[in-house]
Structure 1
Amino acid sequence: MKFIFLFLCFYHFYSYSQNSESSLWIKDMEIAKKISKKEHKPILMYFSGSDWCKPCMMLQEDFFDSFEFKKFTDSFVFLYLDFPRNSDLISTERKIENSKLLELYNKNKQFPLINILNSKGKVLDKISGYSSLRDPRYHFELLQKFMK
C-alpha cells in the first residue's frame, strides 16, 4: 500500500514538473499577445536554434534552466521561436509563422535573441548573443527591468 501511494505521489510530481516546464513556452504570437494583454505582462520572445546554435544551448542551460530564472516565470509571457535545422523538430506551419516573425523581429538573424515586447508586439528592449564566458548576468538584468 505504501509503495502504491509513493508511486502515485512520484508520478504526480513528475508529470506536473514536466507539464509545467513545457507549458511555460507559447509558440504562437497571437496567443502570446492575448495573454499578455489579459494578464498585463510583457512578452519575452526568444529566438533559438535548438539543434545547431551552441550559444543558444549554453543560454538554455545557464539561464532558462537555472533556479534563479524560476522567479521570473510569473512576470512574463514566454514566446519560443525555434529555427532548428532538423525539420522533424518543427511543423511546416510553425516554420512558416516563425519565419514571418524572424523577418519582423530579428532582421539580422541573431541567435540567441531575446526581445521584450508589450501586448501589442512593440519591442521594448532586447539582448542578443551569449558569451562563451557563460555569464547570464545581463540576461537577468534585462528581465529585472520588466519584472512586476
Structure 2
Amino acid sequence: MKNIVLLLALCIGTLAFSQEEDYSNLNWLTDFDQAKKESVTSKKPILIYFTGSDWCKPCKSLKTDFFNSEAFEEKAEHFVLLLVDMPRRTDLITPEQKEKNKILVKKYNSEGGYPNIVALSQELKVIGELSGYTFLRETDRHFAFVDAIIEKY
C-alpha cells in the first residue's frame, strides 16, 4: 500500500512539473517558416521569445510572471508567437531545431541577450525589441512593449 501511495504521489508531482513548462494555453510555434506563413495569413506581427529554458533564471521568471499570465494571454491574440529556445541540455530540442534556432539568434538576437523579445512585421522587419528581466520581477516594461506593438498593428 505504501508503494502505491508513493507511486501516486510521484505521478502527480511529475504531472504538475510538466504542466509548468506549458506556457499556459498559448500556441507557441517553434518553426519560423510556419510563423511567417501564419503572420501573412492572419495579418499579425510575429512575437519572438528568445529563451534559455533550462539555464536562464530571468527567462524562467519572465515565463512565469509575464507569458503565463492571463493578461498576456489576452494580448497574445494579436500576435503569432514564436519560441526560440537555446537550452544547454541536448534532450530538450532536436539538433535540427537547435541549428534553426542558432540562425534566428544570429539574425534577430545578435546581442545574445536572454530573455529577449523581438517583434517582426509581416515583412519580417524588426518593429520592436525588449531585452532582459530584472530580479524585481516587474512586468510593466513588457506589457508596455506588447501594447505599443498592438497599437501599431
Specify the TM-score bucket, using the shorter chain as the normaliser.
0.7 to 0.9
**Match of residue 100 from structure 2:** 97
Partner SS for 2:91: helix
**Match of residue 82 from structure 1:** 85
Select which of 12, 16, 25 maps to 1:21. 25
**Match of residue 13 from structure 1:** none
| 1-structure distance, mates of 2:149, 2:108 | 19
**Match of residue 43 from structure 1:** 46
**Match of residue 131 from structure 1:** 134
Which residue identity is paired with 1:129?
G
* Identity value in percent: 42
Partner SS for 1:89: coil
**Match of residue 122 from structure 1:** 125
Which residue identity is paired with 1:126?
E
Partner SS for 2:123: coil
1:31 is the counterpart of 2:29: no
TM-score normalised by length of structure 2: 0.81
Spell out structure 1 runs of 4+ moving beyond 4 A. none
1:140 is the counterpart of 2:143: yes
TM-score normalised by length of structure 1: 0.83
CA drift of 1:73 comes to: 2.0
Q: Aligned-residue CA RMSD in angstroms?
A: 1.4
8 Å CA contact retained: 2:55, 2:87: yes
Question: How many residues get paired?
Answer: 129
**Match of residue 109 from structure 1:** 112
| 2-structure distance, mates of 1:85, 1:54 | 13
